[in-house]
Amino acid sequence: MVRQLRAEQTRTTILTAAAELFDRQGYECTSLSDIVEQAQVTKGALYFHFAAKEDLAQAIMELQARASRQVASEMDVKGHSCLESLIRTTFGITRLSVEGPIPRAGLRLAIGGVAIRPPLRHPYLELLDLTTRKLLGAAKESDIHPDVDIEAAAHSLVCFFVGTRVVGRSLEPVARQPRRVAEMWHITIRGLVPVPRRPRYLALATQLEREIGRVTPAIP
């Protein structure tokens, strides 16, 4: 039991170290030797858990996908409106990225040319499916204009969300992401939501941004 616990701790240490490097300098620019040095483990320990760098990338993407699905599932059982659930899910995913390197690296790997092995789906396809479902529900709940093209709106919203992360990673601290997501929603809400219902959702986006700022440190 003790040996198994140590093995799990070593595996987590390696994954965290790899995620930090993949996020900071990219997959292609990170070697297994870099990861060994960052994790402060032996090469034997790394190869015991992962046969190749691709296996590390796959494990990180799987962890990121699992965490994002958990956020979405938690929103589904809380009885929120579809639009509120979608807004809260995007902020929940953003919070994961602010708090830890594995969610950040998982998203970077997914758009960085790393092969995604079945049964794992591309995270942005999963996000597109979720966004489409929630916008369809929001239309039924009269929270968005009835003439909105749901497919186009969902695609644009996912691109907007992904774009805030891709651009922001290069230009500003990760702690700035909640502000960018709030800006995204303030623009989107004004375009999709009928005027009488806008104040509720605009206030929600502002509230969720502030909540992340209160519970997460300022990460450089």
In a domain, 31, yes or no: no
* Residue 114 within any structural domain of the chain: yes
Number of H helices, E strands in the chain: 10, 0
Residue 202 covered by a domain: yes
The domain total for the chain is 1
Q: What is the mean pLDDT of each run of 10 residues along the chain (220 residues)?
A: 79 95 92 95 94 94 93 92 97 92 88 82 90 97 96 96 83 89 97 97 97 62
How is residue 144 annotated by DSSP? S
Query: At which residue do the structure tokens 């909105």 appear?
Result: 148
Q: Give the integer Cα–Cα distance in Å for 95 and 93.
A: 5
Whether 191 is covered by a domain: the verdict is yes
Domain contains 3 = no
- Give the C-alpha separation, 162 to 16, whole Å: 22
Supply the CATH number for residue 167's domain. 1.10.357.10
Look up the domain containing 90 and give its range: 53-215
Residue 205 lies in a domain: yes
pLDDT at 218: 45
